């Protein structure tokens, strides 16, 4: 049987990972297409779950474990008028809860894998999908704003502008045994993600008006807040500070004919739960599984129900998870009237071990 042709458009983490995952399928010829652009280093860090890390190890036979910083503990805090309540601690004795990596390092690894596997590369901007009509499957991994999505999704999108700005960066420190933590502060949620013995990344989501008022002194504001919440006595060094607006977008239509949207173009959620790329990886896992099934049957992807099956399998989790993260954000958002009630609930949350267990399972695996 003649090999079926698959084109992945986009060279971000989603596109590169999808290209390698689908290249492992039988009887396919995968190509990667992206425009040649100015090299910009992505200094962000990302956390993935244990289950998604296992998937990466399956598709990359020589995955460098030094790229990932494992964490067996995650601590959650809620700020009240007087103190910060440590209301949940997730901990595992024999396995890791998550793995943190620097985006640019993983991307460099993926590019080398693409070269080793000799996946064909088209370095050109795809302005029209008509140029790809000879492919059996086209997967668009072009971020959130690509014009190529318009003919597929029209206006079928769940949208929300949080009117918040996320500040990210790296911090060099001398704190011993620093654990991954999430602080629900009055100004907005602050996540701490260690990725080496003396470095961690942070993501702090702030109200847009508050950010604009403090824009000129934002680095000092971050410095003081980090020292306060982590109770650091020595100086810290902040680098790679970036900011971006926060919104939610959940596509309600995933595909048209043999063209599929994947990655941030499919769903963008609030960074409060750190689950964005975890959702993308679970999409890739399911897409690989469904395509393998149809290929083993000897069916042509273009005329099969593969993409409809993918949509039916993934839409519910993606929408529920996205709205669940939105609900979590709304619950923890500062509210002078409701915060005393939240304090009572959170102080007693450990009396319900099944709820805590379910929360941990969801954070690791989603709704799979």
- Tell whether the model's pLDDT for residue 319 goes beyond 80: yes
The gap from C-alpha 21 to its chain's centroid, in whole angstroms, comes to: 17
The helix-helix angle for 103-116 and 13-23 (nearest 10°) equals: 30
pLDDT given at position 153: 80
pLDDT given at position 219: 93
Average confidence (pLDDT) over 64-85: 90
Give the model confidence (pLDDT) of 148-185 as tens digits: 898 888 777 899 999 999 999 999 998 888 999 999 99
Query: What confidence tier does 37 reach under pLDDT thresholds 50, 70, 90?
Result: low
- Tell whether the model's pLDDT for residue 61 goes beyond 80: no
Question: Cα separation of 351 and 280, whole Å?
Answer: 33
Average confidence (pLDDT) over 34-48: 81
Positive/negative CA dihedral, 130, 131, 134, 137: negative
Strands (E), the chain: 4-9, 28-34, 45-49, 68-71, 73-79, 84-91, 98-102, 120-123, 137-140, 157-172, 180-184, 189-196, 199-207, 237-251, 255-256, 259-261, 267-268
Average confidence (pLDDT) over 206-228: 94
Strands (E), 50-198: 68-71, 73-79, 84-91, 98-102, 120-123, 137-140, 157-172, 180-184, 189-196
Give the model confidence (pLDDT) of 239-297 as tens digits: 999 999 999 999 999 999 999 999 999 999 999 878 899 999 999 999 999 999 999 99
pLDDT given at position 141: 96
- Per DSSP, what are the bridge partners of residue 196? 199
Query: What confidence tier does 39 reach under pLDDT thresholds 50, 70, 90?
Result: low
Burial 103-128 (b: 16+ CB within 10 A, else e): bbbbbebbeebbeeeebeeeeeebee
Query: What confidence tier does 1 reach under pLDDT thresholds 50, 70, 90?
Result: low
- Tell whether the model's pLDDT for residue 312 goes beyond 80: yes
What does pLDDT average to over the chain? 90
pTM for the model: 0.93
- Tell whether the model's pLDDT for residue 192 goes beyond 80: yes
Question: Cα separation of 84 and 88, whole Å?
Answer: 12
pLDDT given at position 170: 96
Contact 220, 146 (CB under 8 A): no
Q: Tell me the domains of the chain and their CATH numbers.
A: 4-365 (3.50.50.60)
- Tell whether the model's pLDDT for residue 318 goes beyond 90: yes
Question: Cα separation of 319 and 175, whole Å?
Answer: 38
Question: Cα separation of 237 and 195, whole Å?
Answer: 15
Q: Is 78 exposed, middle or buried (0-12, 13-18, 19+ CB in 10 A)?
A: buried
Question: Cα separation of 320 and 300, whole Å?
Answer: 32
Which letter does DSSP use for residue 298 in this model? Answer: T
If one counts every other C-beta atom within 10 angstroms of the C-beta of residue 367, the result is 12
Question: Cα separation of 200 and 316, whole Å?
Answer: 34
Question: Cα separation of 167 and 185, whole Å?
Answer: 14
Contact 143, 63 (CB under 8 A): no
The gap from C-alpha 347 to its chain's centroid, in whole angstroms, comes to: 29
Give the model confidence (pLDDT) of 336-368 as tens digits: 999 999 999 888 887 767 666 656 655 554 433
Question: Cα separation of 223 and 268, whole Å?
Answer: 28
pLDDT given at position 16: 97
Average confidence (pLDDT) over 212-226: 94
Helix (H) or strand (E) segment spanning residue 355: helix 353-365
pLDDT given at position 367: 36
Determine the Cα angle at 199 with ends 196 and 205, to 5°.
120
Q: What tokens does 46 get?
A: 């990302």
- Measured between alpha carbons, how far is residue 172 from residues 58, 71, 203, 208, 223 in Å? 33, 18, 15, 27, 11
Contacts of 53 (CB under 8 A, 6+ apart): 68, 96, 99
pLDDT given at position 366: 43
């Amino acid at each position: 049987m003649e090999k079926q042709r698959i084109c992945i458009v986009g060279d971000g983490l989603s596109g590169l990972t999808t290209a390698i995952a689908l290249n492992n399928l039988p009887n396919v010829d995968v190509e990667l297409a992206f425009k040649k652009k100015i090299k910009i280093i992505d200094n962000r860090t990302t956390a993935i779950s244990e289950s998604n890390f296992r998937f990466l190890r399956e598709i990359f036979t020589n995955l460098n474990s030094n790229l990932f910083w494992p964490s067996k503990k995650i601590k959650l805090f809620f700020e009240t008028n007087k103190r910060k309540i440590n209301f949940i601690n997730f901990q595992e004795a024999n396995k890791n809860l998550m793995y943190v990596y620097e985006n640019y390092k993983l991307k460099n690894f993926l590019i080398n894998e693409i070269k080793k596997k000799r996946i064909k590369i088209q370095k050109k901007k795809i302005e029209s999908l008509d140029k790809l009509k000879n492919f059996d499957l086209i997967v668009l991994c072009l971020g959130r704003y690509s014009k190529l999505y318009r003919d597929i999704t029209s206006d079928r999108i769940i949208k929300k502008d949080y009117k918040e700005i996320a500040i990210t960066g790296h911090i060099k420190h001398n704190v011993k045994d620093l654990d991954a933590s999430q602080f629900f502060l009055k100004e907005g949620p602050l996540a701490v993600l260690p990725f080496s013995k003396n470095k961690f990344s942070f993501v702090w989501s702030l109200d847009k008006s508050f950010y604009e008022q403090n824009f000129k002194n934002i680095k000092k504001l971050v410095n003081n807040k980090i020292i306060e919440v982590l109770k650091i006595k020595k100086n810290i060094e902040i680098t790679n500070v970036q900011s971006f607006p926060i919104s939610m977008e959940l596509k309600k239509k995933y595909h048209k004919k043999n063209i599929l949207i994947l990655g941030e173009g499919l769903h963008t959620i609030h960074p409060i739960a750190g689950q964005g790329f975890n959702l993308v990886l679970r999409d890739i896992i399911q897409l690989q599984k469904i395509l393998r099934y149809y290929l083993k049957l000897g069916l042509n992807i273009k005329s099969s129900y593969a993409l409809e099956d993918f949509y039916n399998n993934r839409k519910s989790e993606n929408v529920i998870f996205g709205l669940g993260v939105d609900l979590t954000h709304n619950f923890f958002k500062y509210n002078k009237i409701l915060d005393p009630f939240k304090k009572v609930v959170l102080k007693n949350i450990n009396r319900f071990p099944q709820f805590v267990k379910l929360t941990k399972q969801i954070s690791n695996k989603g709704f799979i």
